[in-house]
Structure 1
Amino acid sequence: MTEVGAIQPINGTELYYEYHRHYNSSETILLIHGFLSSSFSFRQLVPLLKKKYTVISVDIPPFGKSGKTTTFRYSYNNMAKTVLQLLDFLGIQQTFVIGHSMGGQIALNISHLKPSAIKGAVLLSSSSYLKRMKNSLRYSSYLPFFHHYVKLHLARSGVKENLNRVVHNAKLIDKEMVDGYMQPFLNNDIFKALTRMIRDREGDLPPEILRSIKAPSLLIWGEHDRVVPLDIGKRLQQDLPNSKLIVLKDAGHLVPEEKPEEVYQHIASFIASLERAEV
C-alpha cells in the first residue's frame, strides 16, 4: 500500500488529493467532503476503508488545501468535471464515490455527467433539492468588499457552534476537531473564493435528472440530522431509482465523524453486494 498527498493543477485550479493505493484490492473509493469542510471530515473513515480498498480523498476547491482562486467556476457541475479530470489524470476508469452533504450533490453530478465512471454511490446526508442563491445575494457578491461580509458572517457563528449543529453528541467535539475544521479558514483567500461560489453555485439537481441516474446508490442518514433532515433522504430515495436508505440511530449530520464504524460496515456490505451481482 502506498499513500500520497499531492497538489495537481487541474481545470484551472490547484487540486489537493490524498491517494491511498491498495495493490491487493480491485476496488477504488473516491471521497468528497461537504461545504465548509475538507478531507479532514473523513479522518475516522479513511483508516477503515484503506485496509480493504484503494482510497482517494479530494479537497474540493476552495476548501482544504486546494486552490482558492477567484477565476475558478465554483458550480457543482464544474466541481464534478474537475474531479472527473483528476480520475483521468490518475488513470482510474471506474470508482465508487462517497459524498457527504455538498459532496453528495457533487457525487450525483458526477453520476449524471459520466455514468460509466461510477460503479456505485454512497450518499452521506447528501445535499438535495436546494435552490440557487437569491438574486439579491448573488448581485451583492459583485461588490468589491463583499468577501469581508462573508468572513464576518462565518466568524459570528464560529467553528465550534457549527460543529454543535452538525453532530448529535456534542461530547465528540474536542480541540483536535475544532482545529481541524478551522484550518482551511486561516487563509483569507477562501473568503473571496466563497464570494465567487455564491454566484456560481447552481441549484441542486432537479427530480427529473435524479430519476435518470441509474447508478446503485446507498443513502446513509443520521436520525437527528438538523442540516439535511431525514425527510430529504426519504425524498431522495424515492427519486433515485436504484437506491436504498439506511438511518443511523443517535447520529446527526456529520455521520463520517459520528458513526465511522457503522458507515464503513454499510459501505463494505454495499460494495460486496454489487460484486456478487457481477459474478
Structure 2
Amino acid sequence: MAPPPPPAGGSRRRWQHRLSPTLARDRCYTRSFRSAGLRPAAVTLPDGAVVHIWLPPPDPALHPVLLLHGFGARATWQWAPFLRPLIAAGLAPFVPDLVFFGDSTSPAADRSPVYQAASVAAAMAALPGAPQRYAVVGVSYGGFVAYHLAHAFPATVERLVLVAAGVCLEEADLAAGLFAVEDIAEAASLLLPQRPEDLKRLVALTFCRPPRFMPSCFIRDYIRTMCTENVKEKSELLYALINGRKLSDLPKINQQTLIIWGDQDRVFPLELGLRLKRHLGDTSELVIVKNAGHAINREKPAELCRLIKNHIIDSSVKYRDGHKVVSLVTTTS
C-alpha cells in the first residue's frame, strides 16, 4: 500500500521538517546537552546583541571552562560528545553560540573576532553567579575568538586551548598557495556551502578520512536546514577575519596555551600551528595528533578531550623539568 501524499501549503512544510534527518540530529544534540545537565539561556547585551549560551549545572567544585565553536552548525553540533567526559573530569562547560550562529545575533556592524570576544565576555559576566576566572577552548574560528578573549581579558582567562586555530595566518598566505583556496570569496563559498558540491569539497578537505557515502538528499537537507541563515553576516565575519591580516599585528598573550593540530589538516595547514608556537614561545605547547584533519573534534574526540582535561586540570602532565615540549601524539582509532 502506497504511503499517503504529503499535505499541502504550510502543512506540507511542517511535514517536510518532520522528515528532516538534519533536524532529527539537531534534536539529538540538544537532548544530549540537556541530559548532561546543561540548560539554555539568552543574554541580552547593552548594544542589543543576544548571546545564546548553555549553562552547566551549578557546582562550586567544578572548574569553569568556556567552549567556543568554529564555523559550521551551532555549538551543540560541535561540543555534544565532550560534555559528559569534561564534567566527569571536574569541569563546568559554558557553551555559547557565537554571534550570527545558532540563536545568537547582533544589530552591530562590527564583524571582527575582537567584537565576538567582547560579546562572549559580556555575556559570561552578566550571568548570575558568573565565574570570575575560567579556561577557554576554541576550535578553528572559535580559536580566533578565544585568542582575542585571552588578550583583552587576561584577568578572566586563566588558560587557553587552541584547536586547529590559524590565528597566525596572513592574507598573503592565500596568494602564496598555503591554503586550498586562493581568495576570501572562495573561502566563503567553501565554509558557507550553498551547493552540494561545495559541501562535499568542504568535507573532503576537513576530514582526514572523509565519509565514503554522502547521499545527495542528506546533503541538500543539511544545506537547507543549517547553511541558509545569516549567510551575509557570516561572509562578513570571514572578510573581517582575513582581509589585511598580518602576523605582525597579532598581539602576544601570556596565558599558558595548549595548541592542538591534526597532522593532516588541509584547511589550516600545520605550518600555522608551528608558526603560532614560535609566536607564543615558552608560554605554549604544540601537540600534533596523527591521522587527524581539520575536524579533529569530530575525528578524535576522545584524544582531544583527554588533552583538554590534562591542560586545565593537571598541567604537570605536559611539563618536564620546567620546559615546554612539542609533542607528537599517535592515535590509531
Structure 2 length-normalised TM: 0.68
Taking a change above 3 Å as real, the CA distance of residues 198 and 251 of structure 1, as seen in their structure-2 partners, is closer
Q: Percent identity?
A: 23
CA shift, 1:35, in A, is 2.3
CA shift, 1:75, in A, is 0.7
Partner SS for 2:43: strand
Instruction: Please tell me whether the aligned partners of residues 161 and 257 of structure 2 are also in contact (alpha carbons under 8 angstroms).
Output: yes
CA distance in 1 between partners of 2:266 and 2:143 (Å):
16
CA distance in 2 between partners of 1:97 and 1:8 (Å):
19
- Aligned residue runs from structure 1 range 76-225, under 5 A: 76-90=113-127, 91-131=130-170, 154-156=193-195, 157-171=197-211, 183-187=225-229, 190-197=230-237, 200-201=240-241, 206-207=247-248, 209-210=250-251, 212-225=252-265
CA shift, 1:150, in A, is 6.5
Match of 2:69 among 24, 33, 38: 33
Structure 2: segments with no counterpart, 5+ residues? 1-35, 175-182, 319-333
Match of 2:272 among 203, 208, 232: 232
Please tell me the residue identity of whatever aligns with 1:85. Answer: A
- Aligned residue runs from structure 1 range 235-274, under 5 A: 235-241=275-281, 242-274=283-315
Match of 1:75 among 112, 122, 135: 112
Establish whether residue 65 from structure 1 lines up as the match of residue 103 from structure 2: yes
Establish whether residue 5 from structure 1 lines up as the match of residue 40 from structure 2: yes
Partner SS for 2:65: strand
Instruction: Please tell me whether the aligned partners of residues 128 and 205 of structure 1 are also in contact (alpha carbons under 8 angstroms).
Output: no
Taking a change above 3 Å as real, the CA distance of residues 260 and 48 of structure 1, as seen in their structure-2 partners, is same
CA distance in 2 between partners of 1:235 and 1:61 (Å):
28
Structure 1 length-normalised TM: 0.80
CA distance in 1 between partners of 2:303 and 2:212 (Å):
16
Partner SS for 1:43: helix
Establish whether residue 23 from structure 1 lines up as the match of residue 64 from structure 2: no
Instruction: Please tell me whether the aligned partners of residues 112 and 209 of structure 1 are also in contact (alpha carbons under 8 angstroms).
Output: no
> Which has the higher mean CA deviation after the structures are superposed, 98-107 or 177-186?
177-186
CA shift, 1:9, in A, is 1.6
CA distance in 1 between partners of 2:86 and 2:109 (Å):
31
Instruction: Please tell me whether the aligned partners of residues 94 and 118 of structure 1 are also in contact (alpha carbons under 8 angstroms).
Output: yes
Structure 1: segments with no counterpart, 5+ residues? 141-148
Taking a change above 3 Å as real, the CA distance of residues 107 and 173 of structure 1, as seen in their structure-2 partners, is farther
What do residues 138-190 of structure 1 show as CA deviations (whole Å, max 9, x unaligned)? 9x9xxxxxxxx979x73134334322221111138878x96678743243xx0
Taking a change above 3 Å as real, the CA distance of residues 154 and 174 of structure 1, as seen in their structure-2 partners, is closer
Instruction: Please tell me whether the aligned partners of residues 194 and 228 of structure 2 are also in contact (alpha carbons under 8 angstroms).
Output: no
Partner SS for 1:50: helix
Please tell me the residue identity of whatever aligns with 2:301. Answer: P
Taking a change above 3 Å as real, the CA distance of residues 89 and 259 of structure 1, as seen in their structure-2 partners, is same
Taking a change above 3 Å as real, the CA distance of residues 228 and 198 of structure 1, as seen in their structure-2 partners, is closer
Instruction: Please tell me whether the aligned partners of residues 193 and 227 of structure 2 are also in contact (alpha carbons under 8 angstroms).
Output: no
Match of 1:46 among 83, 89, 113: 83
Map of 1:14 onto structure 2: 50
What do residues 45-75 of structure 1 show as CA deviations (whole Å, max 9, x unaligned)? 22321223110111111112222x5634211
Aligned length: 260
CA distance in 2 between partners of 1:180 and 1:47 (Å):
26
Instruction: Please tell me whether the aligned partners of residues 62 and 194 of structure 1 are also in contact (alpha carbons under 8 angstroms).
Output: yes
